[in-house]
């Protein structure tokens, strides 16, 4: 968890940096639709890597997904701790039960 916490802090720091010197700032400057599309692209690349790539490719693409998800969360002002709390809430619950509870 420390790695994700550090990543989140770095991303939050870089949101308002100079877009010419920071990838995170350049995404922020281009707005939420661009960030969301980038996350989608990375998710598709992770799927492709899972289906036909090497283990190393999947690891790299999974890291890209986590990075871009963290950028999206920061853009929306959602702290990673909220996501972790939701995962904690779901811990020990059957995935089927959790999904059924959402539809009620």
Q: The pTM is what?
A: 0.88
Side-chain-facing half-sphere of 100: CA atoms under 13 Å: 5
For residue 27, pLDDT beyond 80: yes
**DSSP H/E element including 103:** none
Q: What is the DSSP letter of 79?
A: -
CA distance 73 to 58: 22
Distance CA 67, CA 42 (A): 10
**What's the rounded mean pLDDT across residues 21-32?**
98
> How far, in Å, CA of 84 to CA of 63, rounded?
17
Residue 54 has pLDDT above 70, yes or no: yes
């Amino acid at each position: 968890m420390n790695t994700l916490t550090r990543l989140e802090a770095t991303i939050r720091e870089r949101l308002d940096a100079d877009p010419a010197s920071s990838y995170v700032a350049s995404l922020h400057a281009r707005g939420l639709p661009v960030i969301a599309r980038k996350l989608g692209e990375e998710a598709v690349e992770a799927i492709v890597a899972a289906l036909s790539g090497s283990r190393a490719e999947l690891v790299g693409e999974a890291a890209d997904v986590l990075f871009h998800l963290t950028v999206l969360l920061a853009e929306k002002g959602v702290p990673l701790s909220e996501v972790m709390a939701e995962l904690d809430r779901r811990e020990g619950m059957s995935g089927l039960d959790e999904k059924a509870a959402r539809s009620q």
